[in-house]
Every structure is written in C-alpha cells, then in structure tokens.
Amino acid sequence: MKEKLEQIRAAVESALKNADAMEALEDIRIKYMGKKGELTAVLKGMGKLSPDERPKIGALANEIRQKLEREIDERKTAIAAAIEAKKLEDEVIDVTMPGRKNDEGKLHPLTQVMNELKEIFMGMGFSVADGPEVEYDYYNFEALNIPKNHPARDTQDTFYIADNIVLRTQTSGMQVRVMEKTKPPIRIIAPGKVYRSDTQDATHSPVFHQIEGLVVDKNITMADLKGMLEMFVKKLYGEETRVRFRPHHFPFTEPSAEMDYSCFNCGGKGCGVCKGEGWIEILGCGMVHPKVLANCGIDPEEYTGFAFGIGLERIAMGKYSINDLRLFFENDLRFLEQF
C-alpha cells in the first residue's frame, strides 16, 4: 500500500507538470482525489491493514494528500497568472493614441433659429410666453376680432377638434391670454407650432412655426413698431439689410402692414429667390385693434399696442438659403448635419 501511495504521488506530480489549463487541473483532482479517485480507493482499503501498519500508512496518506492539494493550488495560481499575463498582452492599450470621436447630436436648424430669435427679442426686453396648441375658438378667433362667419376663418383653413376647440392657426391667441392676466406694460413673444389645412409644397405645410409678438403700453405708436422690427431684421441679417412696409389687413390690428426685407441672395437687385422683386416678405404686423384691447379688459383710450407674427420657417429659409420648406420636416441626416 505504501508503494501504491508513492506511485499515486509520482503520477500526480508528473501530470501537474503538463497541465496548462484549469480544466486539466480539475480532471487530475477528480481522477486521484475525488470520491472515486485512486487515492481515495487506497484509503478505503486501510481497514485490511494490521493495527501496527495502520497509523504509519494513515500518516503517509495524509501527508501525500496535503502535499498534492498544495501542489494543485500552486499550479492553479501559476496558470491563472499566465492567463492574466496573456490577456494583458493581447489587450494592451496605448494611452498615447487619440481616442475615437463620438458623434454628437445637433439642434435642429429650426430650433437653432428659434433660439437666435428668442435671444434677439429678449435682448430688447421681451419675455417668452407659452400656451396650448389645442385652443378654444374664443382665443384663436373671437377675442381677436374674428367673429363667427368672418371670412378670415375660411382663409385659415382650420382643423376643428370640436365645435369650439381647434388646433391653433396662429400663436396670436397668446396675446389675449397674456392681456387677460397681465396689466400693461406688456412686452412678450409667443413662439410655437401652428396648424392650417394647407397642401404641402415647397413653401407651405399643414404644420409650421410662428412667433407672435406683443407690446402694450401708454403712447405706443406705429413708429415704435417700425423701429423695433427694423432693429430685429438688422440683428438677424446684418446692418446692410433694408426693410419696407406695405399696407395690409388683419382683423386684430388697425392699421396693419406686411414687412419685407431686401433679398439676401441679390441684395435687392432681383433674382429667382425673390422672384425678381428684390424683396422678401417676412412678417405681418400692425397696431392692436381697440376691440381686442377692450375684449381683454384693457382701456383702449389709455393704452395702445402693436403686434407682429413671424413665420419661423421663412426666417430659416432666408438665413440658410433653403428653397424647399419640406426639407425641415423630412429628417434627412444629410441635410440636418449641415447645421
């Protein structure tokens, strides 16, 4: 039995020298020291030994078991170290190499222009107001001097949610909401989406963006309106930009006008962009109608005001020389990544 134990020790030590993987170590342990292993089988036969031989063989068997367990652990540590070293060698990182540049998201061009317009008007003392896109008929039409059966309602091509609820056709409803709750002086812009039943083409869309502006105070005149809007256009397009005002009609302003600016493409000489006229329409404006002030609880004998409405898409098209409004809504990355 002593010879058998020595043979097992020699066999295990030889096997350990050739073992180069954790799986091989586990196989050796099971083969020789498992429940059905060769060393375990020898120990089970110790009952056949004489009382004098049993203590000696038992001590030798324990010594060999402990030695083999220690050698297996040492071999396991060595294999783990070799695996780690190999992994470090294969996955070496050169910290001096430049990193990979991550693609960064960008603001949509309409958002960029919207933020620019907000900055311009906030720099002139305006605050930003916000309101619902699903609006009551009263705020979208009636309070703005557009009663039932008024022809202006037809030109708006309104989306009706219910008899008295619409998708707002303009952000002008915010004029009324602000004037109902705020005493003059008032100086606000109201940017947001508006909806009209238009056929989509290069210059029209059923969904677009508008920025409504409102100023109400004592002694406000048309000269204040013209001076403020001219300053706005020059800040947006440059000091060399010229403006002109043309008489127009809006139910909620009187007198009313449309404002044009000199074509960004030809400087006013006439080209395909401005259809040979040298001017591009940018917004509608006028003095707030006395009825609108009265509807909001503001005395038109004491206060006057002006309002204007800017089409955001038209501004962006002029700023970036874009000739098709649909590009803003198609989400083509080749287009959007230019901004």
What is the block-wise mean pLDDT of the chain (339 residues), using blocks of 10 residues? 72 73 76 70 66 71 74 80 83 81 86 94 94 94 88 78 91 93 94 89 87 96 95 90 92 94 78 79 93 94 95 87 88 89
Could you tell me if 188 and 40 lie in one domain?
no
Per-residue DSSP letters for 55-123? HHHHHHHHHHHHHHHHHHHHHHHHHHHHHHHHHHHHT---TTSPPPPPPPP---HHHHHHHHHHHHHHH
Domain annotation covers residue 102: no
**In a domain? residue 136:** yes
Residues 86 and 123 in one domain: no
Same domain, 140 and 284: yes
> Do residues 64 and 155 both lie within one domain?
no
Shared domain for 80 and 168, answered yes or no, is: no
| Per-residue model confidence (pLDDT) at position 81 | 86
pLDDT of residue 183: 92
In a domain, 45, yes or no: yes
Same domain, 166 and 23: no
Residue 176 domain boundaries = 109-336
Cα dihedral 121/126/130/131 (nearest 10):
-110
Residues 290 and 171 in one domain: yes
Same domain as 139, residue 18: no
The pTM of the full predicted model, rounded to 2 decimals, is 0.67
pLDDT score, position 97: 82
**Residue 134 resides in a domain:** yes
Give the chain's domain count. 2
CATH number where 275 lies:
3.30.930.10
- pLDDT at residue 47, as a whole number: 61
